[in-house]
């Protein structure tokens, strides 16, 4: 081999080493995940016997698999990265296309974030990317929800809840402060049809039994109506406080109150947000009693209705659901908006044998303000684009009654079987056709965690 060729190879090697990309040092990698297989039977989620155009509202029967694989990598000191992939699909054969309504086997990105501990100085942790964010009991901030068209299973059953966000956590034990900016919706790089969330949550541990949290959240919705010349962004400010306490052993309690204000100029008549929410919860576990029974109760009030405020403007007193993650009852979570509601829930559970848990939740629901003709649209979609319920309020007070019963069996530490059934009997506050106002569901499941 000539000296010139040797010199050329040596120079190429040096150049390659000098200009090759730098890779992060990986100290530890953890792979985890879960597979959830469920058989779902639903009846009359449209609260009617008539065919509204799609039999899915009358009857749904399907088996689905929800698969998540998560990789956590510890890099250099105080730096880590997390990625989680997800697939949610109905059993009916493989279909590798991603067309609307298809049974796609494609893999989607569920989580993708980097955590920088002791960023700039020791109390600060910075988390950047697609991440799960939940504060308190999930009344205000809990999940972003499945975007329209992302999955062909009912959206209320989806495991997708992450936000694309930047989160800065300042840990001044016993005070913890979180600052969050999230871009909840943006279809493309053009600054329109976007939804953003900015806010702060501060939690202070008074002692080992009492925590108090205060928060402020600002949601800006730029989904502008191009047909209205005066249309502008909808701006909702939410301030509130949450007190959580364990006054005696095995008793957990919480009290949360929040107020919303801001302006909505999305329609011709400007509306001022003026709404509030109140929630009280208490659970007691009889830890030293056979079968470990637990009882609990909660009361939730979310304001509703509109009232004239003069000068041609209106005040919107309806509570904006924000990004809640609470399931007061399973069918209610799919059918009723988290607004204009007064709800009383009672729950109980026990363990008849070591690995079996039986639980039940009953809910009694009224409207907060009975305005006839106002829109009642369900938050749940049965095919990722069509709502279960599109109707109006009648002007009467009772929304309905709900009951859920669940049995879970811990086969091993990694495998759990479940069976849950539920009914929702609509009240006279909901306008529906024909004589069937009872929605029913039965879900059997097997979950493997690894």
Select the more confidently predicted residue: 311 or 392.
392
C-beta separation of 350 from 394 below 8 A? no
In this prediction, residue 222 carries a pLDDT of: 82
Q: What is the 3-state secondary structure (H, E, C) of the chain?
A: CCHHHHHHHHHHHHHHHHHCCCCCCCCEEEEEEEEEEEEEEEECCCCCCCCCCCHHHCEEEEEEEEEEEEEEEECCCCEEEEEEEEEEEECCCCECCCCCCCCECCCEEEEEEEEECCCCCCCEEEEEEEECCCCCCCCCECCCCCCCCCCCCCHHHCCCCCEEEEEEEEEECCEEEEEEEEEEECCCCCCCCCEEEEEEEEEEECCCCEEEEEEEEEEEECCCCCCCCCCCCEEEEEEEEEEEECCCCCEEEEEEEEEEEEEECCCCCCEEEEEEEEEEEEEEECCCCCCCCEEEEEEEEECCCEEECCCCCEEECCCCCCECCCCCCHHHHHHCCCCCEEEEEEEEEEEEECCEEEEEEEEEEECCCCCCCCEEECCCECCCCCECCEEEECCCCEEEEEEEEEEEEECCCCEEEEEEEEEEEECCCECCCCCCCEEEEEEEEEEEEC
CA dihedral (408, 409, 414, 415) in degrees, to 10, reads: -90
d(CA 162, CA 164): 7
Select the more confidently predicted residue: 303 or 3.
303
List pLDDT tens digits, range 164-213: 999 999 999 999 999 999 999 887 776 667 899 999 999 999 999 999 99
Q: How, if at all, do strands 314-316 and 271-285 pair?
A: parallel
List pLDDT tens digits, range 117-174: 999 999 999 999 999 999 999 999 999 987 766 777 899 999 999 999 999 999 999 9
In this prediction, residue 94 carries a pLDDT of: 54
In this prediction, residue 16 carries a pLDDT of: 47
List pLDDT tens digits, range 57-76: 678 899 999 999 999 999 98
How much is the CA Rg of the chain, to the nearest whole Å?
25
In this prediction, residue 215 carries a pLDDT of: 98
List pLDDT tens digits, range 20-55: 455 567 889 999 999 999 999 999 998 877 655 555
In this prediction, residue 310 carries a pLDDT of: 47
The C-alpha angle with vertex 186 and arms to 182 and 190, in degrees rounded to 5, equals: 125
In this prediction, residue 387 carries a pLDDT of: 87
C-beta separation of 427 from 396 below 8 A? yes
Q: How, if at all, do strands 195-205 and 341-353 pair?
A: unpaired
In this prediction, residue 132 carries a pLDDT of: 97
70 alpha-carbon distance from chain centroid: 19
In this prediction, residue 355 carries a pLDDT of: 96
In this prediction, residue 52 carries a pLDDT of: 53
- Tell me whether residue 423 is exposed, middle or buried, using C-beta atoms within 10 angstroms of its C-beta: 0 to 12, 13 to 18, 19 or more: buried
**Where residue 18 falls among pLDDT bands split at 50, 70, 90?**
very low
- Tell me whether residue 372 is exposed, middle or buried, using C-beta atoms within 10 angstroms of its C-beta: 0 to 12, 13 to 18, 19 or more: exposed
Going from the C-alpha of 190 to that of each of 130, 165, 257, 302, the distances in angstroms are: 20, 18, 37, 35
Select the more confidently predicted residue: 264 or 442.
442
d(CA 259, CA 257): 7
In this prediction, residue 9 carries a pLDDT of: 43
C-beta separation of 67 from 86 below 8 A? yes
In this prediction, residue 306 carries a pLDDT of: 61
In this prediction, residue 13 carries a pLDDT of: 40
Average pLDDT in the chain: 87
The class of domain 28-449 in CATH terms is: mainly beta
* Reported pTM: 0.87
Residue 96 pLDDT greater than 80, yes or no:
no
List pLDDT tens digits, range 327-364: 999 999 999 999 999 999 999 999 999 999 999 999 99
In this prediction, residue 399 carries a pLDDT of: 96
Residue partners of 160: CB distance under 8 A and separation at least 6: 86, 88, 110, 144, 145, 146, 147, 150, 151
**Where residue 229 falls among pLDDT bands split at 50, 70, 90?**
very low
Closest CA to 450 of 73, 11, 30: 30
Residue 375 pLDDT greater than 60, yes or no:
yes
Going from the C-alpha of 428 to that of each of 69, 346, 392, 431, the distances in angstroms are: 45, 22, 11, 7
List pLDDT tens digits, range 384-399: 678 888 889 999 999 9
């Amino acid at each position: 081999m000539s000296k010139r060729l040797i010199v050329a190879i040596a120079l190429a090697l040096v150049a390659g080493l000098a200009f090759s990309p730098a890779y992060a040092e990986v100290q530890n990698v953890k792979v985890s995940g879960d597979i959830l297989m469920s058989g779902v039977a639903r009846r009359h989620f449209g609260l009617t016997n008539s065919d509204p155009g799609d039999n899915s509202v009358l009857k749904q029967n399907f088996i689905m698999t929800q698969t998540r694989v998560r990789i956590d990598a510890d890099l250099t000191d105080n730096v880590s990265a997390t990625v989680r992939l997800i697939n949610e699909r109905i059993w009916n054969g493989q279909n590798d296309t991603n067309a609307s309504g298809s049974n796609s086997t494609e893999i989607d990105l569920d989580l993708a974030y980097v955590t920088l501990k002791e960023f700039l100085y020791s109390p600060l942790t910075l988390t950047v990317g697609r991440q799960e964010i939940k504060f308190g009991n999930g009344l205000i901030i809990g999940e972003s929800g499945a975007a329209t068209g992302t999955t062909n299973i009912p959206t209320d059953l989806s495991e997708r809840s992450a936000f694309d966000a930047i989160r800065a956590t300042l840990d001044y034990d016993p005070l913890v402060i979180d600052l969050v900016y999230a871009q909840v919706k943006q279809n493309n790089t053009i600054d329109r049809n976007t939804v953003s969330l900015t806010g702060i949550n501060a939690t202070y541990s008074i002692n080992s039994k009492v925590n108090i949290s205060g928060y402020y959240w600002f949601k800006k919705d730029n989904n502008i109506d191009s047909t209205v010349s005066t249309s502008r962004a909808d701006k909702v400010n939410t301030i509130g406080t949450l007190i959580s306490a364990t006054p005696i052993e095995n008793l957990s309690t919480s009290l949360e109150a929040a107020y919303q204000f801001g302006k909505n100029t999305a329609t011709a008549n400007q509306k001022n947000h003026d709404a509030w929410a109140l929630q009280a919860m208490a659970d007691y576990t009889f830890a030293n009693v056979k079968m470990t029974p637990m009882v609990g109760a909660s009361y939730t009030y979310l304001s509703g209705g509109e009232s004239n405020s003069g000068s041609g403007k209106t005040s919107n007193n309806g509570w904006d659901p924000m990004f809640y993650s609470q399931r007061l009852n399973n069918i209610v979570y799919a059918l009723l908006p988290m607004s204009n509601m007064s709800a009383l829930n009672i729950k109980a559970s026990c363990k008849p044998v070591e690995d079996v848990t039986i639980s039940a939740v009953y809910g009694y629901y009224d409207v907060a303000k009975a305005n006839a003709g106002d829109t009642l649209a369900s938050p749940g979609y049965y095919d990722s684009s069509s709502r279960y319920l599109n109707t109006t309020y009648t002007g009467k007070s009772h929304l309905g009654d709900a009951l859920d019963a669940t049995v879970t069996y811990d086969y091993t530490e990694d495998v759990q079987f479940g069976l849950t059934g539920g009914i929702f009997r609509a009240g006279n506050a909901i306008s529906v056709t024909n004589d069937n106002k009872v929605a029913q569901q039965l879900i059997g499941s097997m979950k493997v965690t690894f």
